[in-house]
Structure 1
Amino acid sequence: MNFVKGSCEDFVTVLASKAPIPGGGGASALVGAIGAALGNMVASLTVGKKKYADVEEQMYLLKDKTENLQRELLELVGRDAEVFEPLSKAYGMPKNTEDEIAEKDKVMEHALKEACSVPLEIMKKCCEAIELHREYAEKGSALAVSDAGVGVVFCKAALQGASLNVFINTKAMKEKEYADKINIEAKTLLTQYEKMADEIYSDVLAKLVKE
């Protein structure tokens, strides 16, 4: 099933079911794509306006970057489902003999690394989107600044959601050195970009709500 080609209702229905896919990773990727699209909306409402002629060229460049992120995040919805399926099967492998246990451990470790790689990529794409939202919030149309704020909140939520899918997989890994390396990378992204997203949101809020 192509989860991004159906309706929103279809996606939410299957997400709420006991089906193993889509899950939190795919949902995070979709939320990230929506967040990026909101930034793109700001750019679309900015270009062509005389008041913002001085930033029009920059907005077009930002739009190109954001459209790529939207597409990549939507692709990661499906990719997350693809890498989780082998892991789901690996959990069900027999472990009645030493050979079966060794084979299961080998398959599991490979599947965990694959399952970890996609949410980590989702995190990175969300970080790129958060950086773009800083430009949208600062230079985009004032009439759409709230959309930049909503977009960055979505991207932060997607970043955090994807991180949990990284950490649940690294927790199950036996190669602790590899798991620690991935955890450090994910935590570094969280530390830097949660703060950036919060700052952007606060700046937007300050523009909309006067004390």
Structure 2
Amino acid sequence: MLDTTFIFDLASKAPTPGGGGASAYAGALSSALGSMVGNLTVGKKRYEAVEADTYIVLEKLAALRTRLIELVDEDARAFAPLAAAYGMPKATPEEQDAKDEAMQSALIGACDVPLEIMRSCAQVIGLCEFLAYNGSRMALSDVGVAVAFGKAALLGASLNIYINAKDICDRERAEAYTAEAERLIEDASALADTLYAYVLDEIR
């Protein structure tokens, strides 16, 4: 039976899991679908020529899936110090300084995790390119679902970077976060769109 704990936790009023964790979860699902396509490809005579490469793709997808599942929890842990900083007192200059210092430190962690989610999702989408053109044709629609999930996860994680980076005082660091996020969106989203369009054209 499906374990729905995460889904119900996500639906609750608890601050975590939130959008970042959901993005990592969606990325893990994207990887899982890609792996399904790969597993339906290996061992088939029709795909003997790409079997060795498919096993490499499967190994990489498995590692990314494991990491994305870990990032679900890491995103929640990264939010905890930020939530604590928001709740710190600020009645005196000393308290305000302590609050500001805690906030700046927490904002870094709150950007680091979603950026890693984005990087991982971009890699998943990249691996799906091989599966779209070389994987089992019977499971081609699943490649389309995988890249759709991967793109959604990528875009979702980027929102956490944008909302947190705008409050980072170190503007050089903040701009580095947003610049990488934008590059990942530009490159991986374009590939996801290309693959989705290819799949749609092939299965219609």
- Common fold: TM-score over 0.5: yes
Give the count of matched residue pairs: 204
Structure 2 partner of 1:4: none
Structure 1 partner of 2:109: 114
Look up the equivalent residue of 1:127 and give its one-letter code: A
Q: Are 1:11 and 2:6 counterparts?
A: yes
Look up the equivalent residue of 1:204 and give its one-letter code: V
Q: 2:140 aligns with which of 139, 145, 151?
A: 145
Distance 2:38 2:4 in 1: 28
Structure 1 partner of 2:123: 128
Distance 1:85 1:141 in 2: 43
Look up the equivalent residue of 1:45 and give its one-letter code: L
Equivalent residues in 2 for 1:151-190 (5 A)? Answer: 151-190=146-185
**Superposed displacement of residue 172, structure 1:** 1.9
Q: Are 1:105 and 2:100 counterparts?
A: yes
**Superposed displacement of residue 174, structure 1:** 2.0
Q: Are 1:90 and 2:85 counterparts?
A: yes
Q: 1:27 aligns with which of 19, 22, 27?
A: 22
Structure 1 partner of 2:37: 42
**Superposed displacement of residue 135, structure 1:** 0.4
Task: Give the TM-score, by structure 2 length.
Answer: 0.98
Distance 2:179 2:61 in 1: 27
Distance 1:91 1:101 in 2: 11
Distance 1:184 1:147 in 2: 31
Task: Give the TM-score, by structure 1 length.
Answer: 0.94
What is the aligned-residue identity percentage? 49
**Superposed displacement of residue 175, structure 1:** 2.0
Structure 2 partner of 1:3: none
Q: 1:192 aligns with which of 187, 193, 202?
A: 187
Distance 2:169 2:99 in 1: 12
Name the SS of the counterpart of 2:166 in structure 1: helix
Greater displacement, 182-191 / 121-130: 182-191
Q: Are 1:64 and 2:56 counterparts?
A: no
**Superposed displacement of residue 78, structure 1:** 0.6
Distance 1:58 1:111 in 2: 41
Distance 2:3 2:161 in 1: 25
1:3-57 deviation digits (Å, cap 9, x = unpaired): xxxx542211111111011000000000000001100000000000001111111
Look up the equivalent residue of 2:105 and give its one-letter code: H
Look up the equivalent residue of 1:63 and give its one-letter code: L
Distance 1:116 1:50 in 2: 46
Distance 1:8 1:20 in 2: 20
Distance 1:98 1:83 in 2: 26
**Superposed displacement of residue 115, structure 1:** 1.0
Look up the equivalent residue of 2:90 and give its one-letter code: K
Look up the equivalent residue of 1:191 and give its one-letter code: E
